[in-house]
Chain A
Amino acid sequence: MTPTRREALRLAAASLMLGFSAGRPVQAQGGAGRSTMLGAYVDVLLPGDGMTPSASALAVHEGIMDIAADVEPLARLINLMGDWLDGSGRGAFAALNLADRETLVAHCAAADPDTPEGRFHLLIRLFAIEFYYAAPEALAGFDLAPAPQPMGYPPPWG
């Protein structure tokens, strides 16, 4: 990732965190647990199908965790929501059945963006789409080459 892009992501994440209470309690958690939770979350956002793999199969959650390592407010939000998702009463989020995971994701998706749930969903969805569709494996069914060069897309264009 270029410094520009990393900086842009950092700024985007930081700006989307504006308005959050800095004093919200955060439980320290191991990175592996958070990554597992995030992997399960992004798989609800971008599940595998007959043409393309799931988000976690393309390590999308690891890319997001990498960004969070540089963006403290994002790491804090992931910790906070990890606690919330894992503490929903039925066990760790990643261990829930698909229907229960989808219910929790739907709750986050419907939440106001100024709440932790809503902000978490907004950010993770954007990052997940970015990492996922940057991977050539996700582009089956698209009229795209893995990269614009060296061939370009000469006419005719239909």
Chain B
Amino acid sequence: MGIAPDAVVVGSGAGGAAVVWRLTAAGLRVLLLEAGPRFDPARDYPLDAPGWERRGFPAPPGSRAEILYGDLGDCDPSDAGLASFDAAHAPRPPTRRVASGSGYAHVLGYGGSTLAYTGEAHRLHPAAFRLRSLTGQGADWPLGYADLEPLYAEAEALIGVAGPSGTGARWRSGPYPMPAHPQSPAARHLGRAAGGLGWDWSDNPRAALSVARDGRPACNYCGQCGRGCPLGDKGSADVTFLAAAEATGLLTVATGAVVTALIVGPGGRISSVDVVRGGVAERIGTPLLFLCAGAVQTPRLLLASASRQAPGGVANGSGQVGRNFMETLAITLSGLAPGLRLSQRGLPADAVSWQFNAGAAVPGVVGGFRLTSATQEAGLNGPVAHGTRLLTGYGTALKAAMRDTFGSALAVAAVGEVIPDERSRITLSPHRRDTQGVPLPVIHSVLTANSLTLLHAMASAARRLLAAAGVGDVVEQYGSWDTFTATHVFGTCRMGHDAATSVTDAWGRAHDHANLYIADASLFPSSGAGESPSLTIAALALRAADRALT
């Protein structure tokens, strides 16, 4: 690629971007290898054209990886109340869980999946780091909230997180960089309902500028974060960490660069990586390697790099690479709230309830969950979604109902804890390979009894909140019980103190390879109880980079 880098970083999402920023700021020459393309917001996120609701986040060639699905578990009829449905589709409980159309929802591109994320900027609850100590299940982290707090603050400052003035259990060394966004009519309506139930309800910390800064405008509340932000107010990695790293002049970016293998050299150090770009294969030497490809592609690459020096796969002396996979346990319920107006307006996921997030929040269950105002994030802020998903009938009655009820849609999303299970893991396909000849990853992910009990509790809480908000009937429900849809995946290169039971140490450095660091959600020993992971990924990445620089 034309340079002799001080470090090579694979992947440019929340973790890789934070790493390159830290390393280049310290004066290192960094080569960033990104498998996907660079997106052009003005061209690729055309939210100023009619028909916008029919366009999702773009998917140009090379921007999605081919993923296979293995064991996703069975669907017990006794849990059929969790089946997905909407106004047009009655519930049809299946016998086997299947991957949804989006399945493992991800983006290969300069900025990774942050390009399409909503931008919730959560810190993990301090108790999440001590899950095993507190519950006897799952795993503890080899670090605590206090270790990450200054790095959380640093990442929030660069991203420009807008958050509430109160701290709650997630204590802070300083205020959020920006004031919270005004709550939408839907969030305020749900907030009044939550108050009536005696539940917590607060501004959700969001990676979207509430005040213009550094050439980035303030959010204008178009409500379409998941379709890509054409303004740059959303704190995706390309306009934050990566832009700052590029400004140093020390970052070389190679997009469309697919890493096919990690090569182990003398002393167990990673000597180089094999890369294919534009059909040309190249071996690039590096003294320092950061692998930041996410909890599916990172273990895939490590396992696929098995060699005589690493017969079970790179960094896999423990046998834990690919294991402990944790998906996104989620369910979203929606309905119509008579009298509510303008629920389509406002910032997606602008309010959150941590009522069931920590402690013994749900009787008989390990872990908890959070609730968010989800009307916009669920896509119910457009007329197409409103008509196809929430209304029945046709003719003049349908058109009248559209005019009468649009703006009264109300949705609540619940996201919860997943405890690792032996059956849930990433493996390599013995039969299928990508165009570079690397075996495809296979996702196996089953819902345990704990997950199912928690999912019932999540649905029940969402239903109670909607009912308190005046929603008579739940018109749409979709969740993890019958379909695998995961925007957040974790755990497949678990960090820990013990090299026999974990892949990296407490800084993300591989136990088996002194110059290999992992900086993505693979590291998470526990998923958290519904917190979105991008801010924690960035904080862990900064911590790993700091360690490598010492």
Contacts and interface: CB of A to CB of B under 8 A. Distances in A.
Interface of A: 1-5, 7-8, 11-12, 44-47, 49, 52, 102, 105, 109, 113, 122, 125-126, 129-130, 133-136, 138-139, 141-144, 146-155, 157-158
Contact of B222 (A46, A109, A152): A152
Interface in B65-100: 88, 90
Contact of A46 (B342, B394, B403): B394
B150 interface: no
Interface stretch (B49-57, B248-256, B292-300, B361-369): B49-57
Contacts of B52: 134, 147-148
B486 interface: no
Given A5-B55, A126-B88, A153-B222, 6 more contacts: A46-B395, A129-B398, A133-B387, A146-B50, A149-B224, A155-B346
Interface in B429-463: none
B394 A109 contact: yes
Given A1-B54, A143-B342, A149-B48, A133 B383 contact: yes
Contact of A3 (B59, B90, B224): B59
Interface in B107-132: none
Contacts of A122: 88
Contact of A129 (B49, B346, B384): B384
Shortest 9 CB-CB distances between A and B: which pairs?
A: A152-B220, A148-B222, A4-B59, A133-B383, A149-B47, A149-B48, A129-B387, A45-B394, A152-B222
Nearest to B52: A147
Contacts of B88: 122, 125-126
B394 A147 contact: no
B241 interface: no
A4 B57 contact: yes
B55 A147 contact: no
A157 B50 contact: no
B395 A135 contact: no
A26 B143 CA distance: 65
Interface in B281-300: none
Given A11-B101, A153-B345, A157-B184, A135 B51 contact: yes
A59 to B, nearest CB: 12
A56 to B, nearest CB: 14
Contacts of B402: 133, 142
A32 to B, nearest CB: 25
Looking at chain B's contact residues, the main secondary structure is loop
Nearest to B231: A149
Looking at chain A's contact residues, the main secondary structure is loop
B395 A136 contact: no
B396 interface: yes
Nearest to B102: A8
A126 B388 CA distance: 6
Given A125-B394, A134-B54, A153 B399 contact: no
Contact of B383 (A4, A109, A139): A139
Of A125, A142, A148, the most chain B CB neighbours within 10 A belong to: A148
Contact of B399 (A8, A46, A125): A46
Nearest to B186: A157
B230 interface: yes
B224 A52 contact: no
A134 B185 contact: no
Interface string B190-226: 0000000000000000000000000000011111100
A133 B384 contact: yes
B325 interface: no
30 contacts: A1-B54, A2-B56, A4-B57, A5-B54, A44-B394, A45-B395, A45-B398, A46-B395, A49-B399, A105-B394, A122-B88, A125-B88, A129-B384, A133-B53, A133-B384, A133-B387, A133-B402, A134-B53, A134-B384, A136-B50, A143-B406, A148-B48, A148-B222, A149-B222, A152-B222, A153-B223, A155-B182, A157-B182, A157-B342, A158-B342
Contact of B221 (A12, A126, A141, A153): A153
